[in-house]
Amino acid sequence: MGKLGETFFNWAIMAEYAPKVWEGLQLTVWLALAAIVTGLAAGLALALVRAFRLALLNFAIVVFVDVLRALPPLVLIIVLYFALPTVGIRLSGFVATWLALSMVLAAFAEEIFWAGIQSVPKGQWEAARSTGLSFAQALGHVVLPQALRITIPPLTNRTIAITKGTALGAVVAVGEILYQAQSAYSFSYNPSPLTLGAAAYLVLFIPVVWFGRWVETRFAWKR
Amino acid sequence: MEALIHAFFNLEILGKSAPILWAGLKMTLVLSLVVVPLGAAGGLAVALLHQTRLRWPMMLYVDFFRAFPPLVLLMFVAFGLPFVGLDLGAFGAVALAFLLNTSSYYGEVFRAGIESVPRGQVEAARSTGLTALQSMAYVVVPQAVRNVLPDLLSNTLEVVKLTSIASVVALPELLHAARQAQASTYNATPVIAAGIIYLLLLWPLVRLLSRFEHRQIASR
């Protein structure tokens, strides 16, 4: 146990690199929040556009969603970061990771929002329109509020899963938790910084996982 | 336009890197064929233990491993465990990290499935003389699996996509092969090609899932 403790819980090394990991934690939070905001907003926008049922636009949306659901996020990040510069587009690691995670979240969110909109009975549309609301008003004031409620549990889970993708930024040198822990590990040749990084993820994500559980029971389908 | 084709869709480069991409694709398939059944079996075990007195430990296990980004878990297993004399090699490290991560996700799906089977099913099965284990295996689990089939498939899609992170610990799967080819040819075509291969491989599953989801909603 002594050796194990010294290897994985070397307090001196942990204390030395704790400020770095703390820096990484802050960046992880920023990156996650940025991706959540843009991803969800873009996903909702796409679902609303889809509700207008314009054939060509809808086809484009379905292609976008399918491609981003099939591609591994890491592949997307690598393409944005390593392939785009060869045609003169240079993105920082942060921007590449943010963009990739936002696009993936937008694709999944669009599917969920769209499923929610479709789940609202047709009679709701008809009743809303018959009171004189325009199509956009019926969508915004009647259909969407009902649709959003049932989208909350799947949306929460998907958002949490994609938020954990911020760790992929380590591959393109974004100084988030994993990157900081990993470089500290290479400097010190001791895995204690990795333990510290793992602990940082636990502190950050255990409450998030529990929040997801709570949302799931709170907004469960009434059958 | 020509510059774009030269940079991303360069047939000459593609020809040169085809053998390494093919080897990478085979490794991705082998890896998926190992980690998906392993994760699913682990998840089923977690869900079954969740029904016993081990409910709390299992919940802890699931929440603990769901809190880690998979890449963090992989790094820890690949770089940390050798320090205590447990060097599993790249493939072994990936398999162990994936087992820990995906079994907790599969575990949640199976648990939801098992809990969706009405209590009366177990009572009826037990009253016909089946043991607890038999009624679980022959009555509850088959119905549970059917009830959560879309979620199982969706999770499997995510696991296959996730195998791409094995490139970070230098396991020569598709993404790793593509990046090696990119580095040696100074051209992004192999990485674009890898993306297209993932698309071709997984697009049918994405379509199937999309149809499942719409049917699920239509039935509500």
- CB-closest option in A71, A118, A164 to B217: A118
Residue A36 host element (H or E)? helix A11-51
Cα–Cα dist A55/A72, whole Å: 28
- Mean pLDDT within A13-39: 94
What six digits make up the tokens of A122?
A: 């047709």
Query: Residue A141 pLDDT more than 90?
Result: yes
**Domains (range + CATH), chain A:** 21-218 (1.10.3720.10)
Q: What angle, 0 to 180 degrees and rounded to 10, lies between the N-to-C axes of helices A192-218 and B55-67?
A: 110
- Partners of A111 on chain B (C-beta within 8 Å) are 210, 213
pTM recorded for the entire structure: 0.91
> From 1.10.260.40, 1.10.3720.10, 3.40.640.10, 1.10.10.10, which CATH number describes the B2-218 domain?
1.10.3720.10
B137 contacts chain A (CB < 8 A): no
Chain A residue with minimum CA distance to B183? A82
Cα A214 to the center of its chain, rounded Å: 19
What six digits make up the tokens of A178?
A: 């994993």
DSSP string spanning A109-173? HHHHHHHHHHHS-HHHHHHHHHTT--HHHIIIIIIHHHHHHHHHHHHHHHHHHHHGGGGGGGGGT
Cα–Cα dist B219/A78, whole Å: 40
- Mean pLDDT within A125-140: 93
DSSP string spanning A175-188? -SHHHHHHHHHHHH
A residues 93-152 closer than 8 Å to B (CB): 111, 115, 118-119
Q: Cα-flanking dihedrals φ and ψ of residue B52, to 5°?
A: -100, -160
The residue type at B149: L
Query: Residue A195 pLDDT more than 50?
Result: yes
B166 close to B74: Cβ distance less than 8 angstroms: yes
* Residue whose pair of structure tokens reads 């030269």 in the numeric block: B6
Q: What is the pLDDT of residue B220?
A: 56
A176 close to A28: Cβ distance less than 8 angstroms: yes
Q: What is the pLDDT of residue B86?
A: 86
Cα–Cα dist B103/B120, whole Å: 28
Query: Residue B19 pLDDT more than 50?
Result: yes
Percentage of chain B lying above the pLDDT 70 cut: 98
Cα–Cα dist A190/A192, whole Å: 6
Banded pLDDT at A223 (limits 50, 70, 90): very low
Cα B81 to the center of its chain, rounded Å: 22
The counts of H helices and E strands in chain B are 11, 0
B68 contacts chain A (CB < 8 A): yes
Query: Residue A135 pLDDT more than 50?
Result: yes
- Partners of A181 on chain B (C-beta within 8 Å) are 75
Banded pLDDT at B104 (limits 50, 70, 90): very high
How many Å from the N-terminal Cα to the C-terminal Cα in chain A?
A: 52
Query: Residue B114 pLDDT more than 90?
Result: yes
Q: What angle, 0 to 180 degrees and rounded to 10, lies between the N-to-C axes of helices A144-163 and A11-51?
A: 150
Q: Cα-flanking dihedrals φ and ψ of residue B118, to 5°?
A: -55, 145
Mean of pLDDT over chain A: 91
pLDDT tens digits for range B67-99:
999 999 999 999 988 888 888 999 999 999 999
Banded pLDDT at B219 (limits 50, 70, 90): low
- Mean pLDDT within A60-68: 96
Mean of pLDDT over chain B: 92
Cα–Cα dist B61/B64, whole Å: 5
B192 contacts chain A (CB < 8 A): yes
- Mean pLDDT within B183-201: 94
Cα–Cα dist A43/A65, whole Å: 10
Interacting residues of A83 by C-beta distance below 8 A, sequence separation 6+: B7, B8, B182, B188, B191, B192
User: Which of B25, B109, B205 shows the shortest CA–CA distance to A69?
Assistant: B205
CB contact under 8 A, A70 and B199: yes
Q: Where are the domains of chain B?
A: 2-218
- Partners of A206 on chain B (C-beta within 8 Å) are 63-64, 67
Phi-psi region of A53 (alpha: psi -120 to 50; beta: other; left: phi over 0): left
Cα–Cα dist A101/A164, whole Å: 10
Residue A180 exposure: Cα atoms within 13 Å on the Cβ side:
24
pLDDT tens digits for range A74-93:
999 999 999 999 888 999 99
Name the least confident of A50-64, A195-209, B155-169, B204-218: B204-218
- CB-closest option in A79, A171, A195 to B168: A171
A166 contacts chain B (CB < 8 A): yes
pLDDT tens digits for range A100-110:
999 999 999 99
Chain A residue with minimum CA distance to B186? A86
A104 close to A161: Cβ distance less than 8 angstroms: no
Query: Residue A222 pLDDT more than 90?
Result: no
- Partners of A159 on chain B (C-beta within 8 Å) are none
The residue type at B133: L
Q: What is the pLDDT of residue B218?
A: 59
According to DSSP, residue A1 is labeled -
- CB-closest option in A111, A182, A210 to B75: A182
Cα–Cα dist B77/B82, whole Å: 8
Cα–Cα dist B97/B78, whole Å: 8
- Mean pLDDT within A112-129: 91
Q: What is the pLDDT of residue A153?
A: 86
Chain B residue with minimum CA distance to A217? B112
Cα B26 to the center of its chain, rounded Å: 16
